[in-house]
Structure 1
Amino acid sequence: MHEPQADLAGGPRSAGAPPAPVLSVVLVTKDDDDRVAETVWSVLHQSLAELELVVVDRGSVDDTPDILEAAASDSRLRRVDAATLSRGAARDLGLARSRGTYVMFADADGTLPEHACAAAVARARRTGAELVVGRHVRFTPRRLTTSAVPAVARDRACWNRLVDRAAWNTAGLTFAGTEHADDLLVALRADLTLRREVLDEPVQIRRARVGRTRPERAARVRDHLTQELACLAEVRDRQDPALLDAYLSGVLDADLWSHLPALLEPDALTDPGLDTAREAAATLVRAAPPAVWRRLPADRLRVYTPLGHGRWTRAAASLTARPRPTTLAGRVRARADRAALAAAGATEALVRGALRGRSAGGSGGAAS
């Protein structure tokens, strides 16, 4: 995958020393040669030129280093090697090595729309916000979704937000030292600590990563639920019923729900290494106040009721028996093979076309 390399750098902006950056984008990579070129290209071709891209590579053994070397003809890209660090520690290192007044985070599963950085910086400057959180678009070979307006304690990812570096450091915010879900707790703390503004437009285009092995899925769900329990403790410490309601509504309706197959599929049920993760899921379910339960859809109630009582087999049966939706409002379907779409560049064209359409006619869409 070397074809995009010739034009990864940002053209005329590559010449000479870079100006002092307004914004730093911190990108963490590890063996991402199938997609990192698109991510790098999208950052270096932002309409905001006064930025730098700090890439922290965690010991890639594929073609990722070659792709980054080709892109480094743009002097705004700086590479940091950190082969022994977890993803969370690598993000912290990238932030420490960056120089911008503002910082955004990225990974190889996403690209940035052309004006994302400019829009986020403009909002921060205009309002004095220390944290700007934007929407995102997520696409798979079968559907395209636009996220809902980001809500406090519900949208906890680092890649859809801009932060004021000074405010971030003053608050003592750091990522978890985990391989997965390293941003759940720090994003929650940022939401609750920093002056926050919402940008009602996408700042990320997220691409589904397919083909993970069962051990990979198990590791992800273990880290995620460990961090989720830390988030629950953080929210409870605030002693704010409305915050607890908002947090657990998001967890039970979306976050935990999306991880249940990795906990309850047949092979997972016989894996004792996932017992702690299942207990963590049950703890989250039992923590929900009655108001949250009353708002949950029936399919979730059918699964969460046995799950909360530790009846894993019954919960798994309810999960696999749930009806599949026949219509998805606001979603674009594509039945073509993913490999063919990727080869033709059709997925990116589909997403960018949809974004242009939303800009012209409104930003409606289904929440992912």
Structure 2
Amino acid sequence: MVHEPQADLVGGPRSAGPARTPLLSVVLVTKDEDDRVAETVWSVLHQSLAELELVAVDRGSLDDTPAILSAAATDPRLRRVDAAGASRGAARDLGVARSRGTYVMFADADGTLPEHACAAAVARARETGAEMVVGGHVMFAPRRLTASAAPAVGRGRAGWNRLVDRAAWHAAGLAFAPTEHADDLLVTLRADLTLRREVLDDPVQIRRARVGRAPAERAALARDYVTQELACLAEVRHRRSPALLTTYLEGVLVTDLWSQLPALLEPDASADAELDAAREAAVHLVRAAPAAVWRHLPADRLRVYTPLRHRRWARAAAVFRPRPRPGTLAGRARARAERTVLAAVGGAEALMRGAARTAPPAGRNGGAAS
């Protein structure tokens, strides 16, 4: 049975008429995603904002993705770009380079755009003069639906929840990392810190969480993630803002790094020497957290990051599995006490590391702190 959006990728009054210079370009990068891409294409071509184009960059798909894009290309607003062999980041840059709109938004096959998402984001940019508008999103995961507002600066660094002024993007010299995964972490952080930014709490994408990734893909994602995260940490430190560093690293330890830990700590991963550098990068990120971050970490994060900080991989992996919630008043009191102790120890170590970094160089007979 053909999925409904695929059966009517064009159709409707919004696709009628010749191609015009668009107000907005939506850049869609895809590869071998014929089970999802039709819905994404359909959602873009049926936006209430008609003055848009869809720049579909295909990275050499071997499934039915090219046929789906060819069927949709009867709508003159869709332009196909072939980028076989390109990384996801390089393909996104190519899509921006081929765009003609005043504004650019990003999409991929894991998400669809609500009907008025493009119109709302463009309107917000025009009424405020913003060079970037960051929107909220809705995430569908197994047995769970989560609605999230626009993230704060340094948090939620996805490329797909943003509209950017194309001229300002180029003027700032922004570009995606030439990687297969996590290519948007650094560029969106730099955009947050460089472009005039406004938020739009309305969702600009409806996302579907990916489940069941193969171990090799999860390992590759984790390697790319921690590499890009170290670059983000250097960028944040360069700004010399304690508040920004706290906000950023709290997001990393609560959400972003946490989601990558199974790929680094599960039994098969622990025996993979190729992941050693990624685990060391994770230690570096955990050790970089200031005391203010440790004071606010949830108990499960504290239990894992405390041994991880000292490279006790087996211990970190053992406590990574979720614990049942204490059922008695005494059990809950013990859990609160454990969290308080772990947070205090972590905060104290963070303070000592911070003092060591800012201490003057030791004399000839002194040892340099690391």
C-alpha distance in 1 between matches for 2:323 and 2:249: 22
Distance 1:115 1:10, change over 3 A: farther
Match of 1:140 in 2: 141
Match of 1:100 in 2: 101
1:211 Cα deviation from its structure 2 partner: 2.2
What amino acid is the match of 2:121? A
Distance 1:165 1:319, change over 3 A: same
- Conserved? CA contact 1:13–1:74, under 8 Å: no
Residue by residue over 1:237-272, the C-alpha shift from the partner in whole angstroms, topping out at 9 and shown as x without a partner, is 111111111100100011011111111111111111
C-alpha distance in 2 between matches for 1:65 and 1:2: 16
1:274-313 pair list within 5 angstroms: 274-313=275-314
C-alpha distance in 2 between matches for 1:323 and 1:73: 55
- Conserved? CA contact 1:28–1:87, under 8 Å: yes
Residue by residue over 1:250-296, the C-alpha shift from the partner in whole angstroms, topping out at 9 and shown as x without a partner, is 00011011111111111111111111111111100000000110011
Distance 1:198 1:60, change over 3 A: same
TM-score (norm 2): 0.86
1:203 Cα deviation from its structure 2 partner: 0.5
What amino acid is the match of 2:175? T
1:320 Cα deviation from its structure 2 partner: 1.3
Match of 2:127 in 1: 126
C-alpha distance in 1 between matches for 2:114 and 2:56: 19
What amino acid is the match of 2:130? A
1:96 Cα deviation from its structure 2 partner: 0.4
What amino acid is the match of 1:322? R
Distance 1:289 1:138, change over 3 A: same
Residue by residue over 1:99-139, the C-alpha shift from the partner in whole angstroms, topping out at 9 and shown as x without a partner, is 00000000000000111000000000000000100011100
1:17 Cα deviation from its structure 2 partner: 1.6
Structure 2, unaligned runs of 5 or more: 328-370
Q: Which moved more, 1:155-164 or 1:134-143?
A: 134-143
Match of 2:197 in 1: 196
3-state SS in 2 of match to 1:25: strand
Number of aligned pairs? 326
1:206-225 pair list within 5 angstroms: 206-225=207-226
- Conserved? CA contact 2:10–2:45, under 8 Å: yes
Residue by residue over 1:151-179, the C-alpha shift from the partner in whole angstroms, topping out at 9 and shown as x without a partner, is 10011010000000011000000000000
Match of 2:46 in 1: 45
1:320 equivalent in alignment to 2:355: no
3-state SS in 1 of match to 2:295: helix
Query: What root-mean-square deviation, in Å, do the aligned CA atoms of Structure 1 and Structure 2 show?
Result: 1.4
- Conserved? CA contact 1:6–1:70, under 8 Å: no
Match of 1:91 in 2: 92
- Conserved? CA contact 1:2–1:67, under 8 Å: no
Distance 1:194 1:18, change over 3 A: same
Match of 2:339 in 1: none
3-state SS in 1 of match to 2:49: coil
TM-score (norm 1): 0.86
What amino acid is the match of 2:52? L
3-state SS in 1 of match to 2:204: strand
3-state SS in 1 of match to 2:317: helix
Match of 1:173 in 2: 174
C-alpha distance in 2 between matches for 1:186 and 1:325: 42
- Conserved? CA contact 1:10–1:44, under 8 Å: no
3-state SS in 1 of match to 2:198: strand
Match of 2:186 in 1: 185
C-alpha distance in 1 between matches for 2:229 and 2:84: 27
- Conserved? CA contact 2:124–2:200, under 8 Å: yes
3-state SS in 2 of match to 1:295: coil
- Conserved? CA contact 2:155–2:247, under 8 Å: yes
Match of 2:266 in 1: 265
3-state SS in 1 of match to 2:80: strand
C-alpha distance in 1 between matches for 2:93 and 2:10: 25
C-alpha distance in 1 between matches for 2:78 and 2:277: 41
Large movers: runs of 4+ above 6 Å: none
C-alpha distance in 1 between matches for 2:70 and 2:119: 26
Match of 2:359 in 1: none
What amino acid is the match of 1:51? L
1:324 Cα deviation from its structure 2 partner: 7.0
